[in-house]
Structure 1
């Protein structure tokens, strides 16, 4: 069950037949990454439907109360307050790292459990908290895996076209700190201040063999891809997008064949097990296209929370105290959380990490290039 605003206040007592509410925070309008938000919401909704088909939470229906964050941290923080007032037993979702940080901070302040589905920035909170857990692998793990892929492919002169912001700044730092000791250089280009033509000239001057798009989609990432692909001087330059811009169908729709062979990170295993295969089929039907890893993250989020709610009840403190007891068969493997000193939250440390691209011979097909 998915609803718009409700009217209830505190978490209701068990046994009264009232819904158990999960507050879902999802980017559904611009400037949020709406394709990611749509897939995340599809996964959340599918899992809620299946939980209710199986009898709900001790006979009570599970209800998803959705709020659009539009990639706005202030809007998301206000939504947390609203969802707490509406009686949400837990919060779920969010894709954008800076927004997830705002949600985590507010959830910690108000004492409501938040399971972050998709945001990867290492510093999800400013300090340790018992209220927050995360499914997505931390950025440092994924981006180091991506850096290892670049090194393995022979790239030592790497340029990044970067937007401002904490997530992109963190990505640049991770790449630089991992690549420099291994003999690679990283040249930083401001993706907003330089025109695509100026970026191309800088790549030639630097002798770069790879350009990484640490920038928003579709602007300025798409114009940069078109410019590099059209520049004969850069025919051998690899374009990469570690943040995952090519994962979604709108990338292929905007760029066609030019959007193929752009390696990016995604968080899927080489092969889905029975649970993952079942969910993949149901998500494809719901979305009308192949589900992204973000849709699986949404499904797994509800699977974890539903397991905790069934076992420990809808009391917020009890849910938060149960992170170390999570043991759920998710779509991409067994989900268990560990306490990580470097992030301050409960973390699924074993999420699969891949570097993939779209096959130039068939841009609808993904090629696995590297795993970590």
Structure 2
């Protein structure tokens, strides 16, 4: 018996509708980072905004492999246990094909264990501890520079600037301890004296530690505030109000990027003038078309200037999508293999990931990640307008740092 033409037509239409539905099913990608206390939520929020912007651009351009992408966001609160739980939810519950993000190294180190357990690609956007890539997990790639890259440059600047006696306040995290280890090893090589005190990320009052530094003989000529969380703002303000730094006698440095956001100025005001910090983005004079386009789009949508932290998150999502496109698949092994040979230009230059295993942290590391030392010379100054002190090839001033003028 022959089938009714109408029944055949209905069947064909159903098959077509199902095929279209399956083809349009989104590819899920996970994002992790701090969006609430005790984490550095100002940095996490900027990273999330940048990821949202990238996702909308990608979907407006047609997605990848004929499918839209869907980014699933998880707040890790700057806590390793929250990072582990978030990764488990993303991988086993949401079925994401890859994960990117994170701001805190201690949390990132917990997250990569889950990525390694399930074989899921993980792009570390803004975590600096050497161990992130030094564990040499095949699933883990990093677009941010490693501690050894950043603080080798910062230490070289400290030596060149002529500082002789450095006071360091470090947080008890993998980033803080690791960063200070790199710095002090370099200081030992060049005869720079230093004293280190350790504080908790959640600490509120730093008066006692600051006063001890002030009473040292000789008085430190550089105070390095190595906290990546909101406590960094309190240290800057309290150091200023106590008359320690920045002053004509003692310069002030802030590590870990909390001084790069508008919230920095909202919290410290005039105490932020003359502060120095590292910036892991391209200097303004060598911005490319993607850098300028991203900054313009971010300003238009969020009414604020993004920092390099936002750029790292934005580029991370594009790198995952480009890996999917070139691999022609969301298979994790295919994506990992593609990432190892991929070259793609983003807001921070041309990305590529090293496969060399010495030093250990170089594995799957973006070795051309830019790092500069900047200094503010007025209130509410943006990072794109701050003085670049180091390295010399990108410096915008002949001085190695601007000294506080005596009143």
Find the partner of 2:76 among 61, 69, 72.
69
Partner of 2:262: 249
Shift of 1:124: 0.8
Higher RCO, Cα 8 Å, sep 6+: 1
Separation (CA, whole Å) in 2 of partners of 1:340 and 1:185: 34
Separation (CA, whole Å) in 1 of partners of 2:221 and 2:252: 9
Find the partner of 1:210 among 222, 245, 250.
222
Structure 2, unmatched stretches of 5+, are 1-20, 393-407
Residue by residue over 1:16-62, the C-alpha shift from the partner in whole angstroms, topping out at 9 and shown as x without a partner, is: 32111111112111111111011111111111111111111121001
Secondary structure, counterpart of 2:367 in structure 1: coil
The alignment's TM-score, normalised by the length of structure 1, stands at 0.91
Separation (CA, whole Å) in 2 of partners of 1:56 and 1:212: 44
Residue 322 (1) aligns with residue 338 (2): yes
Shift of 1:290: 0.7
Secondary structure, counterpart of 1:51 in structure 2: helix
Instruction: Write the mapping of 1:198-237 to structure 2, written as runs, cut at 5 A.
Output: 198-206=209-217, 207-219=219-231, 221-232=232-243, 235-236=247-248, 237=250
Residue 266 (1) aligns with residue 284 (2): no
Secondary structure, counterpart of 1:343 in structure 2: helix
Residue 337 (1) aligns with residue 353 (2): yes
Conserved in 1, the CA contact under 8 Å of 2:272 and 2:379?
no
Structure 1, unmatched stretches of 5+, are 1-13
Separation (CA, whole Å) in 2 of partners of 1:232 and 1:106: 46
Partner of 1:124: 132
Partner of 1:154: 162
Separation (CA, whole Å) in 1 of partners of 2:309 and 2:220: 31
Partner of 1:171: 179
Please tell me whether Structure 1 or Structure 2 has the larger radius of gyration of its CA atoms.
2
Residue by residue over 1:188-216, the C-alpha shift from the partner in whole angstroms, topping out at 9 and shown as x without a partner, is: 12345984254234234142100101125
Q: Which protein is richer in helix relative to its size?
A: 2
Find the partner of 1:294 among 281, 305, 309.
309
* Pairwise CA RMSD: 2.0
Residue by residue over 1:52-77, the C-alpha shift from the partner in whole angstroms, topping out at 9 and shown as x without a partner, is: 11111121001101111111211211
Secondary structure, counterpart of 2:155 in structure 1: helix
The 3 A distance-change label for structure 1 pair 239 and 353 is same
Conserved in 2, the CA contact under 8 Å of 1:244 and 1:266?
yes
Residue 368 (1) aligns with residue 383 (2): no
Separation (CA, whole Å) in 2 of partners of 1:232 and 1:65: 46
Find the partner of 1:357 among 375, 385, 394.
375
Partner of 2:104: 96
